[in-house]
């Protein structure tokens, strides 16, 4: 008769006393009409850092005496630094089961389940549905592209405004230079262009008397 011995050796870095993270503590759910907020705290990591958290929910109302499967809550892998997660697209005045657990290098810990009921309000429900429509599928790259387009348009408008202002500021100097350029050929071709009319010399008193006593011509009386 042969005897077989099975030797189990612990793997370095893995503690058999804590094979998984302990259950989360202070798990609560704050439900609105179509929204819910799940909160939790961590009592320990089971000897290994927590990799992520996972949360799920499902309706508490059975269908054909059977509860529906658990639904994932986005994101599927919640950051280990997070202590809350939002749940969208719930029905008003309905009861839901929520559960959340932690996962480390050795696997997932035991889930903690909480029952909560959403509030009832037609107006609030319609408002939330309107604002949160497509929230999960919204791509932040689209928003970033729209911001870039708007900023680029504003930059082009600002550059155009600066160019117009600079052009208006330089226009008087340009017109003065044009006048000078047009004036130079006239001065060259006509040296007396810039000279004023000479002042006619005043006639002497005697010359005026002589001029007045001159013969006025045929048919005109002679002045005295």
Q: What is the pLDDT of residues 107-125, one digit of tens each?
A: 999 999 999 999 986 666 5
What's the pLDDT at 163?
85
Whether 11 shows a pLDDT value over 80: the answer reads no
**Beta-ladder partners of 104:** 50, 107
Domain range for residue 74? 25-137
130 within some domain: yes
13 within some domain: no
164 within some domain: yes
- What is the rounded CA–CA span in Å between residue 93 and residue 81? 32
Asked if residue 175 lies in contact with residue 183, where contact means CB atoms within 8 angstroms, the answer is: no
Residues 143, 96, single domain; the answer is no
Residues 48, 122, single domain; the answer is yes
Residues 93, 156, single domain; the answer is no
Which residue do the tokens 């996972």 mark?
54
Residues 30, 105, single domain; the answer is yes
Nearest-CA neighbor of 87 among 27, 121, 37? 37
Nearest-CA neighbor of 45 among 5, 80, 4, 92? 80
Q: Environment class of residue 125 by beta-carbon count within 10 Å: exposed (0-12), middle (13-18) or buried (19+)? A: buried
Q: Environment class of residue 98 by beta-carbon count within 10 Å: exposed (0-12), middle (13-18) or buried (19+)? A: buried
Decide: helix, strand or coil at residue 222: coil
How much is the average pLDDT of 84-93?
93
Please give the backbone phi and psi of residue 176, each rounded to the nearest 5 degrees, phi first.
Answer: -65, -40
* CATH number of the structural domain spanning residue 130: 2.60.40.10
Predicted TM-score of the model (pTM): 0.50
The encoded tokens of residue 9 equal 């050796």
How much is the average pLDDT of 151-164?
90
Alpha helices (H) in the chain, listed in sequence order: 122-131, 140-189, 205-213
Poorest-pLDDT segment among 3-7, 153-157, 191-195? 3-7
How much is the average pLDDT of 18-23?
76
Nearest-CA neighbor of 67 among 101, 24, 97, 33? 97
pLDDT in tens, 158-201: 988 888 888 777 666 555 666 666 655 665 666 565 555 554 55
Q: What percent of the chain has a predicted confidence (pLDDT) above 70?
A: 58
């Amino acid at each position: 008769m042969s005897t077989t011995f099975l030797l189990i050796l612990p793997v370095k870095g893995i503690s058999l006393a804590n094979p998984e993270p302990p259950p989360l503590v202070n798990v609560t759910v704050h439900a609105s009409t179509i929204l819910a907020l799940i909160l939790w705290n961590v009592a320990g990591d089971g000897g290994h850092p927590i990799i992520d958290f996972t949360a799920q929910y499902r309706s508490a109302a059975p269908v054909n005496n059977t509860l529906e499967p658990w639904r994932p809550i986005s994101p599927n892998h919640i950051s280990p630094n997070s202590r809350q997660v939002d749940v969208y697209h719930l029905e008003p005045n309905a009861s839901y089961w929520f559960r959340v657990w932690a996962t480390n290098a050795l696997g997932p810990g035991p889930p903690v389940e909480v029952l909560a009921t959403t509030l009832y309000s037609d107006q609030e429900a319609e408002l939330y549905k309107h604002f949160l429509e497509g929230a999960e599928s919204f791509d932040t790259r689209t928003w970033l592209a729209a911001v870039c387009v708007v900023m680029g348009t504003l930059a082009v408008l600002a550059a155009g405004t600066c160019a117009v202002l600079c052009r208006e500021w330089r226009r008087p100097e340009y017109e003065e230079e044009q006048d000078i350029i047009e004036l130079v050929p006239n001065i060259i071709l006509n040296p007396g262009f810039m000279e004023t009319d000479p002042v006619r010399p005043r006639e002497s008193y005697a010359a005026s008397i002589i001029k007045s006593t001159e013969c006025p011509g045929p048919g005109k009386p002679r002045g005295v």
